[in-house]
Amino acid sequence: MNTNQIEGLIGMLLTFGILVLLVLPSAFGVARDRRADRQIREAQEARGEQEDQKSSSRSTVPSTATWYAEGRRSKKLVSS
């Protein structure tokens, strides 16, 4: 190898090293986000299973928002 080839090799290695340093933080961020998403999904699934078990003992009274929306829908149907 002559001097030009060695300089070219060093330049490519430095460029590759800088590229790795720039990409590494975003790769860690993606991995962290995926882990957080997985933990959230597992917690939601666990909560869903607990709610399924509790749902038989709960009353089925609609919420105030549902009652209000039903009243507004019926008024729209009557007026049109």
Q: Quick check: pTM over 0.75?
A: no
- What are the tokens at 3? 């001097």
Length of the chain: 80
Look at residue 49 in the predicted model and tell me its pLDDT. Answer: 81
Q: Report in angstroms the alpha-carbon separations of 14 from 7, 24, 26, 31, 50.
A: 10, 15, 20, 26, 54
The stretches in the chain having pLDDT less than 70 are 54-80
Nearest to 31 by CA among 20, 23, 43: 23
Give the separation between CA 31 and CA 73, rounded to whole angstroms: 46
Look at residue 55 in the predicted model and tell me its pLDDT. Answer: 56
